[in-house]
Amino acid sequence: MRAFDFLRVGSIRSQVELVVMLRTIDPKVLEVALRIVEIQRAAYAIEADLIGFGGIPQLVETEGEVRELGQMTWMGAFLDDLLVGLVAWEKNGDKVEIDRLAVDPAFARQGFGRRLVQAVPSSGTTIVSTGEENHPAVSLYLSEGFERTGSLEVAPTVMVAQFRRSN
């Protein structure tokens, strides 16, 4: 993947085309960590409503905790200088685990999540999980070549769907 990747997305709010840039982000930078927290809390609040579970760790993760997650690789989707979405993953040998994917709800359903998933390295095996009742995320992963491998109960009556893609 190139250092900068561009995607043209039609804006829902107007007929103007927006240029989206994907680039690595550093959660150790205070302003970046604060924006990550803001996006995560808004996005995961929607997932919490969908799955009926408010115990998603990213809902309460602080900027300080995010800043300590520098061992993961982070990619952000930007409109001009505004971070609108993010994905973070860890690579261990030939296995990549997507730890989180979040898009600011004000920019949801415009292809940012898909583009971020596509930016994750595609060598070996990639795994990811999401709330079983989070149908938009489940559909995204299935459409990007992931196969459902199982479910895990993370709390009473709360199931997480697990996915895998061999690249």
Domain ranges of the chain: 5-166
User: What is the CATH T-level fold of the domain 5-166, as seen in this structure?
Assistant: Aminopeptidase (3.40.630)
At residue 3, does pLDDT exceed 60?
no
* Beta sheet of 82-92, edge-to-edge order: 5-10, 17-24, 73-79, 82-92, 95-103, 125-131, 158-166, 147-155
Q: What is the DSSP letter of 57?
A: G
Calculate the average pLDDT of the chain.
88
Query: What is the reported pLDDT for 17?
Result: 59
List the structure tokens of 69.
Answer: 């997650």
d(CA 14, CA 157): 41
At residue 7, does pLDDT exceed 50?
no
